[in-house]
Amino acid sequence: MGAPRKATVKLNVTAAETLFREYYARLCHYAFQFTADAELARDIAQESFVSYLARQAEVSTHPSAVRNFLYSSVRNACLNTLRHNKVIEKFVQEQAAGAPETETAAINAIIRTEVLAAIHQALESLPEECGRIVRMGYIDGLKNQEIARMLNISVNTVKTQKRRGLQLLRLRLPPETYMLVAYVLMS
């Protein structure tokens, strides 16, 4: 039983080799007309044979059916490749057009993060009560009267603590950082 099976495989390999020799150059030329890329055309032609061999049982053995299958496979693969290349080209163009905007947004996000980190670190360096009042007034946006009522202290104490907090921040931070912190806190 082993011998007939080998003979059948041998016959299929021989038929595939014959088919490949007969159509490969034609299919490469056909694919090249779509792609204008010789290497890509060769790859597509080879893939059409692989596709045919994988689906050989589904395709009629008539020479016209085999030829039509191979040419259709090449045409479809070429069209899919061209569509894919257009999508890639469009994506690259969109990225190139949006790159400065994206880069600027990324830089702004880094600056914002660094400023907020500096603010929180600076606020942590303030005395506890002073830091709490500065946070409530400048970060939470509470009015002096609200802070005074919540902490059960006078409005003048709130004003004094806020002023003292800003003075301490000015002394503890480098001038450029203080300017950023003051800008963020005051706005």
Domains of the chain with CATH codes: 2-92 (1.10.1740), 126-186 (1.10.10)
- Lowest-pLDDT choice from 48-57, 72-81, 90-99: 90-99
pLDDT value at residue 122: 81
Q: Supply the pTM of this predicted model.
A: 0.48
Q: Of residues 30 and 9, which shows the higher confidence score?
A: 30
pLDDT digits (tens, 9 = 90+) for 120-132: 888 888 899 998 9
Own/partner contacts of 69-76, CB < 8 Å, gap of 24 or more, are 70/23, 70/27, 71/27, 71/30, 73/47, 73/48, 74/27, 74/30, 74/31, 74/44, 74/45, 74/48, 75/30, 75/34
